[in-house]
Amino acid sequence: MQGSRKIKPRVLAIFGSPRGKKSYSSAFHRAFLEPIRSAAVVHSFHVYTMKIAACTACGHCHTHGDCIFDDDMKRIYRELRSADMISISSPLYFSSLPGPLKILIDRCQMIWELRERNEWPVKNAHGFFISSGGADYTNMFLPSVTIIRHFFNSLRISYDEKNFLLFRGMETTAAHSAASEHMTRCGEIGQQYLSKLTGTAE
């Protein structure tokens, strides 16, 4: 029947690891997305395969509301405009995010400027973060989570930090055997986010 067809929610999935199929954070991210794919359109981007110039603080976005660079960031801006969910996965590098992912985030300064001018669509998008670190020490994910929080806040993307999936000790032998349990956990959380996206969550 015409008019009853529902538009599928859109998910922007940003993969921050350079390790392709060997990457833990990417595997966890895919497991998280698995249930979501049944009802949403997922657009995946791998930052290490993209050409994204670093922000030079030229101030052009402040004065003109757009960016001087014509690169792959245009595809990310387009997806960010329409996404109902933004999921980000990343390895932990020197207790933070790897450079290319941080560069992508810095380039969202343009969106911050557009928000200030009320020229960015207000959408109730959900944000999600997955990370894996090789070692195991106190507060190891704190810098990454702080950056992601700042990023989501700037774009007014809602998120529930207690659901973020942060896997530590991934370079230990114990972690290899725990990886499949981690994947199951990612799938369960993905299922919860599917409900949020399709509007069946409380």
Ligand X SMILES: Cc1cc2nc3c(=O)[nH]c(=O)nc-3n(C[C@H](O)[C@H](O)[C@H](O)COP(=O)(O)O)c2cc1C
170 part of the interface to ligand X, by CB under 6 A: yes
Using the rule CB under 6 A, give the single segment among 4-12, 24-32, 78-86, 193-201 that binds ligand X.
Answer: 24-32
**List 116, 119, 160, 171, residue binding ligand X (CB under 6 A):** 171
Using the rule CB under 6 A, give the single segment among 36-44, 77-85, 88-96, 115-123 that binds ligand X.
Answer: 88-96
93 part of the interface to ligand X, by CB under 6 A: yes
Looking at the Cβ atoms of 30 and 126, the one nearer to ligand X is 30
137-156: contacts with ligand X (CB under 6 A): 140
Q: Minimal distance in Å, beta carbon 79 to ligand X?
A: 21
173 part of the interface to ligand X, by CB under 6 A: no
CA–CA distance from 86 to each of 2, 49, 140 (Å)? 30, 19, 23
Q: Minimal distance in Å, beta carbon 183 to ligand X?
A: 13
CA–CA distance from 65 to each of 108, 119, 120, 130 (Å)? 11, 9, 10, 31
Q: What is the DSSP string of 171-184?
A: TSHHHHHHHHHHHH
87 part of the interface to ligand X, by CB under 6 A: no
Cα(97)–Cα(106) distance, rounded to whole angstroms?
12
What residues contact 24, with CB distance under 8 A and at least 6 apart?
A: 17, 91, 132, 167, 170, 179
Cα(169)–Cα(80) distance, rounded to whole angstroms?
32
Which of these, 186, 99, 103, 95, lies nearest to 141 by C-alpha position?
95
17 part of the interface to ligand X, by CB under 6 A: yes
Enumerate binding residues for ligand X (CB under 6 A).
17, 19, 23-26, 91-95, 132-135, 140, 170-171
